[in-house]
Structure formats: C-alpha cells, structure tokens
Amino acid sequence: MKFKAMLLLLVILLFLISCKEVPASIRLKIEFENKLNHDLSKIYGIQVYKDGKKFKEFSAFKKPFIEEEITLDSLTNGTYKFVYENLVNQTLQKTIEVKENKIYSVSIYPDYSNYKDFTSKSFVRNLEENQKVEFYFESLGCFHSAKESLVITKKEKVYYAENKGESKKLNSAQLDAIIKMECELALIKYGGCTTSDHYIIKSGKQEKEFYDETCKWNGWKNMSKQVNLI
C-alpha cells in the first residue's frame, strides 16, 4: 500500500509539473526568398529591442552567433523588434507583440528588398518590341577579375537573354530575377569591401552605372544562377 501511495503521489507531481505554465518564447527563423542563395555569413548582425530598449544582439563575428533558427525564451510581455540589414544594406525590422505565454514564430528574409518600388524605371520592364537592354559587368578584387555581359531582347512579347553567343527564352521568374537585380543596384548604399563590382546598363541612348562594394549582395552571380547562365 505504501508503494502504491508513493507511486500515486509521483504521478500527481508529474502531472502538476506538466501543467505548469511555460514562459513565452520567440523562435526567429532566417529564410531566403532566393532558395539558391542561403548564406548566413552575409548577415552581420541582428539587434533585438524590447519596448524600445536594446535587449540582445546576435553577430556573425562573436557570440551569440547568428544561426538559421534563434530562440529567445523566458520572455515577459512586451513589444519585441528585430532589426537587421539586408544584402543591399537597407535597415529592415520585424516586430512582434508578446501578450501571453506561448511560442511565437517569426521569419526574416535578408535578401528581401523594396526593389518593386523602382520597377517603373527599369529598362528591362519598359523594353519595347525589337529593342534591347545591354548589361555589362566587371568584378575586380585582390585575387580575381571577371567580365560578363548580357543582352535582353523582346520579340512578339517574348523576352530573350543572349549570353556568350547563345540565346534563350526567359520565363517570368527569370525575367523577374533580372529586373530585381537591375532595380536593387539603385538601392545599394555603401560598401567598403576590397572587391568592386561595376555595372553598366544601356538601353538606346540611356545609360546607368553602378558600383557594388558590399561583398555580400552578389547580384550578378545570384541572377546568373536563377537565369541558368552558369
């Protein structure tokens, strides 16, 4: 009888422990819109604020390190804001309101940008029938140099990409990847890297010129993968 009583007491104790309320937590997941480019090393810092005050910071260079999934646990109620820079060095943020003891899930996308605000000025988007847009790319660094080019044409409402003497029909996703690269060039704010990527875009008598020294955006490389140029 004594053994049964102790066993019953243990069961009740375990039940009470399991029913104990678990403090709130946030699971932050780092995702990428471009599934071909999933490089966490290009995210240098994530700052977490609670009710306007810095709460925690994650870094690519020191602990606590940035990981694909970050968990903040034992949280009290309040407004939590995650601040980070995307791949073109725009400062973005995600806010979540913690009001009860549960697990909150939130995702951020470092390769997201508001490039669609600039598509009205895109040479490719505004391409007329039987006209062309020329892209010239040159990359110079301490241990490398590279030159590439791409020509976009439009014939009977169909877009084509000409690269290295070959022409291919573009689907809507590939066309969007090229337009995104073109528009994001206008968003790049600063750099500081020893590698300098130089872009020239021509359409008729119009011409645009950009430099990317971020060492993390890699616009030409990402676009080439999506369009299957490499």
In percent, the amount of the chain with pLDDT more than 90 equals: 79
What is the pLDDT, as a whole number, of residue 210?
96
On whether both 125 and 51 belong to a single domain, the answer is: no
- Any domain includes 70: yes
- Position 107 confidence tier, pLDDT thresholds 50, 70, 90: very high
90 domain-assigned? yes
- Lowest mean pLDDT, pick from 21-25, 84-88, 102-106, 120-124: 21-25
The pLDDT value recorded for residue 159 is 98
User: Predicted confidence band at 68 (pLDDT cuts at 50, 70, 90)?
Assistant: very high
Please report which confidence band the pLDDT of residue 8 belongs to, taking 50, 70 and 90 as the band edges. Answer: low
pLDDT at 142: 86
What is the token pair recorded at 124?
């490719």
pLDDT higher than 80, residue 30: yes
DSSP 8-state assignment for residue 176: H
Same domain, 75 and 126: no
Mean pLDDT for all residues in the chain: 90
Residue 14, in any domain of the structure? no
Instruction: Average the pLDDT over each of 13-17, 53-57, 184-188, 192-196 and give the range with the smallest value.
Output: 13-17
**3-state SS, residue 143:** coil
Sign for the pseudo-dihedral over CA of 62, 68, 73, 78:
positive
pLDDT interval class at 187 (50, 70, 90) = very high
Neighbouring C-beta atoms of residue 129, cutoff 10 Å:
10
- For the cut 50, the answer to whether the pLDDT of residue 19 exceeds it is no
Q: Which domain holds residue 74?
A: 23-108
Do 133 and 218 lie in one domain? The reply is yes
Scanning the structure block, which residue is given the tokens 């029938």? 129
The domain that contains 119 carries what CATH number?
3.30.350
Please tell me the least confidently modeled range out of 11-20, 55-64, 188-197.
11-20
Our count of domains for the chain comes to 2
pLDDT of residue 42 exceeding 90, the answer is no
In this structure, the answer to whether residues 97 and 126 fall within a common structural domain is no
Residue that is last in its domain, among 61, 90, 108: 108
pLDDT at 152 over 50: yes
Long-range Cβ pairs for the range 7-15 (8 Å, 24+) = none
Assess whether 150 and 134 both reside in one domain: yes
Same domain, 121 and 216: yes
Q: Which of 86, 108, 130 delimits the end of a domain?
A: 108
Termini Cα distance of the chain: 76
Q: 74 in a domain, yes or no? A: yes
Confirm whether 9 is domain-assigned.
no
CATH number for 82: 2.60.40.10
Q: Verify that 171 and 68 share a domain, yes or no.
A: no
Q: What is the pLDDT of residue 190?
A: 78
3-state secondary structure of 221: helix
